[in-house]
Amino acid sequence: MRGKFLKVAVVATATAMLATACGGGSNDDESAGKTGGTLKVYNAEPAFLTPSGGDDEPSLYVIRQLYRGLVKYNAQTSAVENDLAESVESTDQKLWTIKLKSGYTFDNGEPVNADSFIRSWNFAAYSPNAQNNGYFMKRIAGIKDVQSQDPDGDGPQKAPEPKAKELAGLKKVDDLTFTVELEAPFSGFPTTIGYPGFFPMAQACVDDIAKCNETPIGNGPYKIDGSWQHNVAINLVRSDSWKGDAGKPDRIEYRIFADVDAGYAAFQGGELDVMYTLPPARYKEAKATYGDRMFELAGDSFTYVGFPLYMDEFKDKKIRQAISLVIDRQSIIDAVFDGRFAPASGFVAPSFEGARPDVCKYCQKDVEKAKQLLAEAGGWPAGKKLTLWANAGAGHDQWLQAVGDQIKAALGIDYELKVNLQFAEYLETADKKKFTGLFRLGWGPDYPFMETFLYPLYGTGAGSNNSGYSNAEFDALMKEGDSAASMQAALPSYQKAEDILGEELPVIPMWWRKEAAIYSENVDQFVWNAVADADYGATSLKQN
């Protein structure tokens, strides 16, 4: 249940098909969708229902209906549109001025003003509050002063109080205006603030965060009915205090399941209107049964196989290119995954603005070229086994073995699997750069801007750069894009940076997950937001 931030897709419109299925054909040209009704959706148990805490998919699905932020994403194009913000502007990409629209309030009557945003961001960033979304505040100036580290690593001494309680980079100008200073210029800043971690919080919420988690005080189109019934359900009803575009259903009921198979059975039994996670084993069956009511699209959840560049065997890029060249991605996807993935030929999700096909010149199977490259690089050390790493219990063994078999068949390099580490230890191994061979890892974007697929994974010293890749030219291009005058102007620099990766291959791009959701006959129009996934507030039901 990894925290997913966004996925790119388009709106599913099946109105016409559904109308025929009903035999009526009466609701032609109803593209707007009707309001009313109760929408029952599948959900797993969220971690938190506060903007500062919830960073996993089930939490975000609920938070996005309860709360609203400065910007929202266009359902089809993923473009950033102002929501509560009047404007988000900067001249140097470092100091951003944010003006808010007036008149918005929280469910408890508190106004949504500059303070509510500053309060929320400060709360998330202050490390003693232990909020998961503190991670997302990392660009704001003064972040280091609100997070403190244990002086001796792991106890016995406790971490000291951080130097400051508030982020130095956040300043209130007036009730509806505030400025955000970043540590370094970043042209993509407006795309980041549509993430729920940047949504506002009421004073009453921060004062009693535990209570606010159970009975959220939101500012969005829906409010909670009663409180969070843990592991059972979360019921939302239309909020009267919301001034923006109203949601379509009168009521959204999130039914909580611990197991996707049980959720799928409930869907089959007609108890759910939307089910967005399908059990892999039932995928084919679901596609056959609910073909016209299945929404499917190549998403932006990236799987790659990384090279430990700190090991001598992998320092030569020709070795890396040779290994990538012998992998036939499509055949593995078909054989192991029933086609639930789309092969990758680049490092940025195909649906992102600025993404181009075939950036990676070594991602199509070509054994002859691979053999030649391997020979040029001086061959693989005789007798040495190639180790392939993956975390245990997550179903990675099978495809990784297929990768190993293809390498062995084509290049004669013998391999061994190392798939016994649990996820936590596996990640710690990654953080410490202790992998001794190729390793599987994934990535999901944090915001709809191609930078999110580049710097965090390949920038020198970046957080999730597990290969230990370092290239001065790449870093310079990233910096150039970050300080470009606009998001559009930044793309060419990022594309050049991606080209470097396509040649140097610090990791082997494998595939993008296809997003699949099924919906019931009650649903009139199912809406999938390009960034925020299934948008339940915008999904309409058939009215009788």
Partner 1 sequence: MGRYVIRRLLQFIPTVLGTMFLLHYITSLAIQFSGNPVRALFGDRTPPPALLEAITERLGYGDPCLDQRGNPCFGLFLDRLQNIFFHFDFGINLRQRDVTDLVADALPFTLKLLVIAIVFEAVVGIAAGVLAGLRGGSFTDYLVKISTVFVISVPIFVLGVVVREFVGVKFGNVLRGQEWIPDVISVGVFAPVFKQEYPLASLIIPGMVLGAVSLATTARLTRTSIMENIRADYVRTARAKGLTNKRVIGVHTLRNSLIPVITFLGVDIGAAMAGAVVTETIFNVPGIGRLVTFSARTGESSVVVGVVTMLVLVVLLANLLVDILYAVLDPRIRYE
Residue placing its CB nearer to partner 1 in the complex, 190 or 445: 445
From 41-49, 376-384, 401-409, 505-513, give the range in contact with partner 1 by CB under 8 A: 41-49
SS3 assignment, position 23: coil
What distances in angstroms separate CA 333 from CA 9, 144, 406, one per listed residue?
20, 43, 14
Spatial neighbors of 13 by CB under 8 A, at least 6 apart, are 31, 525
What is the residue whose two structure tokens read 């991602």? Answer: 363
The distance in angstroms from the start CA to the end CA of the chain is 37
Report how many residues bind partner 1 under the rule CB under 8 A.
60
CB of 389 to partner 1, least distance (A): 14
What distances in angstroms separate CA 155 from CA 59, 134, 429, 501, one per listed residue?
32, 22, 21, 40
Q: Tell me how far apart the alpha carbons of residues 403 and 409 are, in angstroms, rounded to a whole number.
A: 10
CB of 112 to partner 1, least distance (A): 26
Q: Are 413 and 386 in contact (CB under 8 A)?
A: yes
From 219-227, 437-445, 493-501, 520-528, give the range in contact with partner 1 by CB under 8 A: 437-445
Binders in 334-393 for partner 1, by CB under 8 A: none
Q: Tell me how far apart the alpha carbons of residues 123 and 133 are, in angstroms, rounded to a whole number.
A: 10
Helix (H) or strand (E) holding 369: helix 367-376
CB of 378 to partner 1, least distance (A): 33
CB of 316 to partner 1, least distance (A): 27
Figure out which of the listed residues 291, 381, 412, 442 binds partner 1, where binding follows CB under 8 A: 442
| 296 φ/ψ angles, rounded to the nearest 5 degrees | -145, 135
Angle between helices 317-325 and 487-504 (to 10 degrees): 90
Q: Which two tokens stand for residue 203?
A: 């004073």
State yes or no: residue 280 binds partner 1 (CB under 8 A).
no
Figure out which of the listed residues 380, 443, 511, 512 binds partner 1, where binding follows CB under 8 A: 443
State yes or no: residue 211 binds partner 1 (CB under 8 A).
no
Q: Nearest-CA neighbor of 520 among 294, 288, 296?
A: 294
Figure out which of the listed residues 249, 444, 448, 502 binds partner 1, where binding follows CB under 8 A: 444
Residue placing its CB nearer to partner 1 in the complex, 153 or 383: 153
From 85-93, 229-237, 375-383, 402-410, give the range in contact with partner 1 by CB under 8 A: 229-237
CB of 399 to partner 1, least distance (A): 17
Q: Are 456 and 464 in contact (CB under 8 A)?
A: yes
Q: Nearest-CA neighbor of 170 among 156, 185, 180, 159?
A: 180
Q: Are 120 and 51 in contact (CB under 8 A)?
A: yes
Figure out which of the listed residues 22, 232, 394, 409 binds partner 1, where binding follows CB under 8 A: 232
CB of 138 to partner 1, least distance (A): 6
State yes or no: residue 288 binds partner 1 (CB under 8 A).
no
Q: Nearest-CA neighbor of 63 among 446, 452, 519, 535?
A: 535
Residue placing its CB nearer to partner 1 in the complex, 48 or 362: 48
DSSP bridge pairs for 389: 418, 439
From 227-235, 292-300, 380-388, 408-416, give the range in contact with partner 1 by CB under 8 A: 227-235
CB of 27 to partner 1, least distance (A): 23
State yes or no: residue 263 binds partner 1 (CB under 8 A).
yes
Figure out which of the listed residues 87, 102, 229, 436 binds partner 1, where binding follows CB under 8 A: 229
Peptide bond before residue 128 is cis, with ω within 30 degrees of 0: no
Figure out which of the listed residues 24, 25, 270, 378 binds partner 1, where binding follows CB under 8 A: 270
Q: In which order are the strands placed within the sheet that holds 170-174? A: 85-90, 95-100, 177-181, 170-174
Figure out which of the listed residues 60, 62, 112, 256 binds partner 1, where binding follows CB under 8 A: 256
State yes or no: residue 42 binds partner 1 (CB under 8 A).
no
Residue placing its CB nearer to partner 1 in the complex, 403 or 430: 430
State yes or no: residue 37 binds partner 1 (CB under 8 A).
no
SS3 assignment, position 140: strand
Residue placing its CB nearer to partner 1 in the complex, 277 or 406: 277
Figure out which of the listed residues 89, 174, 261, 416 binds partner 1, where binding follows CB under 8 A: 261
Contact track, partner 1, 135-154, x by CB under 8 A: x--x--------xxxx---x
DSSP 8-state code for residue 296: E
State yes or no: residue 237 binds partner 1 (CB under 8 A).
no
DSSP 8-state code for residue 153: S
* Full DSSP string of 379-428: -PPTTPPEEEEEETTSS-HHHHHHHHHHHHHHH---EEEEEEE-HHHHHH
State yes or no: residue 441 binds partner 1 (CB under 8 A).
yes
State yes or no: residue 188 binds partner 1 (CB under 8 A).
no
Q: Are 462 and 446 in contact (CB under 8 A)?
A: no
Residue placing its CB nearer to partner 1 in the complex, 116 or 132: 132
Q: Tell me how far apart the alpha carbons of residues 544 and 542 are, in angstroms, rounded to a whole number.
A: 7
Residue placing its CB nearer to partner 1 in the complex, 256 or 508: 256
CB of 54 to partner 1, least distance (A): 10
Q: Tell me how far apart the alpha carbons of residues 410 and 291 are, in angstroms, rounded to a whole number.
A: 38
Q: Which two tokens stand for residue 119?
A: 């309060």
CB of 271 to partner 1, least distance (A): 7
Figure out which of the listed residues 269, 357, 383, 461 binds partner 1, where binding follows CB under 8 A: 269
Contact track, partner 1, 154-183, x by CB under 8 A: xxx-xx------------------------
What is the residue whose two structure tokens read 């960034």? Answer: 531
Helix (H) or strand (E) holding 21: helix 15-22
Binders in 400-429 for partner 1, by CB under 8 A: 421-428
Binding site for partner 1 (CB under 8 A): 2-3, 45, 47-48, 127-130, 132, 134-135, 138, 147-150, 154-156, 158-159, 210, 229-233, 255-259, 261-263, 265-266, 268-271, 421-428, 430-431, 441-444, 446, 456, 463-464
